[in-house]
């Protein structure tokens, strides 16, 4: 039987309404992702939740030469997962932890508390097929999907469980097009739950 994983990308307070780097309607991904979590638990999928976990001083932030306002600083309320997201049984990978690195967009850049990369976690669990949703479509979701494809996983984007930053109009749509062009599948949670 093909082993599957659900990857929840950065559904954190600072990326939701009221946060320091809020994605418009970012909290709207919680309900479809929770439905997917319930489905994944029933069917024995691996569940992984990535989080930005930045030090207070990092080249990722504008104050230190980067492009973004401070967000998801380690051990702050803004870095916590959205209170309604069901992450209780998820394996957590933390990314963006290097103060000298402006990267850390992809969940595959992150590591678990015991130092394993997401790729290692998926391989250890014999996963070949992943579904990805979260924030934001045009940055961390896209980076995660492209890395997943590069590493050889069948990768599905949960279209209704992603929201884009859209710094430039159409960035989210362009990101979806690029992911599909690179080989990703696109679906919605209701279809996965009913037809997968």
Catalytic positions: 10, 95, 140
Residue 56 to residue 139: CA distance in whole angstroms: 21
Residue 189 to residue 156: CA distance in whole angstroms: 10
Whether the Cβ atoms of residue 86 and residue 34 lie closer than 8 Å to each other: yes
- DSSP per-residue string spanning 77-127: GGGSBPTTS--TTPEEEEE---TT-S---SGGG-B-TTS-BHHHHHHHTTE
Helices (H), the chain: 30-42, 118-124, 142-150, 171-181, 189-195
Q: If 0-12 CB within 10 Å is exposed, 13-18 middle and 19+ buried, where does residue 150 land?
A: middle
Q: What share of the chain is helix, strand, coil (3-state, %, to 5)?
A: 35, 25, 40
> Phi and psi dihedrals of 173, rounded to 5?
-65, -40
- Give, rounded to a whole angstrom, the gap between the first and last alpha carbons of the chain: 13
């Amino acid at each position: 039987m093909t082993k599957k994983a659900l990857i929840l990308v950065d559904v954190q307070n600072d990326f939701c309404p009221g946060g320091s780097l809020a994605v418009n309607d970012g909290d709207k991904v919680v309900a479809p992702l929770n439905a997917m979590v319930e489905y994944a638990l029933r069917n024995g999928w691996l569940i992984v939740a990535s989080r930005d976990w930045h030090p207070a001083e990092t080249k990722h932030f504008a104050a230190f030469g980067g492009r973004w306002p401070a967000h998801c600083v380690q051990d702050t309320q803004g870095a916590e997962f959205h209170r309604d997201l069901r992450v209780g049984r998820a394996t957590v990978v933390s990314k963006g932890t290097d103060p000298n690195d402006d990267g850390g967009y992809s969940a595959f850049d992150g590591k678990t508390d015991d130092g394993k990369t997401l790729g290692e976690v998926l391989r250890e669990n014999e996963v070949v097929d992943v579904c990805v949703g979260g924030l934001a479509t045009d940055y961390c979701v896209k980076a995660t999907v492209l890395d997943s494809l590069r590493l050889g996983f069948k990768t599905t984007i949960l279209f209704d469980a992603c929201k884009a930053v859209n710094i430039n109009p159409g960035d989210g749509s362009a990101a979806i097009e690029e992911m599909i062009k690179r080989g990703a599948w696109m679906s919605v949670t209701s279809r996965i739950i009913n037809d997968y």
